[in-house]
């Protein structure tokens, strides 16, 4: 595993230390790794959403009505509205 030194302002350092005291994280490195994993997941989801929005935008104008689309959504997700 590689090592990386990071400089933090005192308030951020204190925050990280408080997070490790909760017992959820074993040390500061564990906390930072968790933050990075969460950021990676966020970025992956964001990229997926952007690609879906672009695909939708470039697919053209739909001839389906809003009611048709809503019915399909309810069928797919079994939503009773």
Give pLDDT, residue 78. 81
Do 16 and 28 touch, CB atoms closer than 8 A? yes
DSSP for 33-66, please give it.
HHHHHHHHHHHHHHHHHHHHHHHHHHT----S-H
Q: Tell me the mean pLDDT in the region 5-18.
A: 97
pLDDT value, residue 81? 53
Q: Exposure of 19 by Cβ count < 10 A (0-12 exposed, 13-18 middle, 19+ buried)?
A: middle
Q: What is the pLDDT of residues 30-60, one digit of tens each?
A: 999 999 999 999 999 999 999 999 999 999 9
pTM of the complete model beyond 0.85: no
| CA separation for the pair 28, 13 (Å, rounded) | 9
């Amino acid at each position: 595993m590689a090592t990386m030194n990071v400089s933090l302002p005192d308030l951020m350092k204190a925050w990280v230390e408080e997070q490790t005291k909760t017992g959820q994280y074993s040390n500061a490195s564990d906390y930072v790794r968790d933050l990075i994993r969460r950021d990676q997941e966020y970025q992956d989801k964001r990229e997926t959403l952007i690609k879906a929005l672009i695909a939708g935008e470039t697919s053209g104008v739909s001839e389906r009505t809003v009611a048709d689309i809503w019915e399909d959504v309810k069928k797919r997700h079994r939503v009773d509205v």
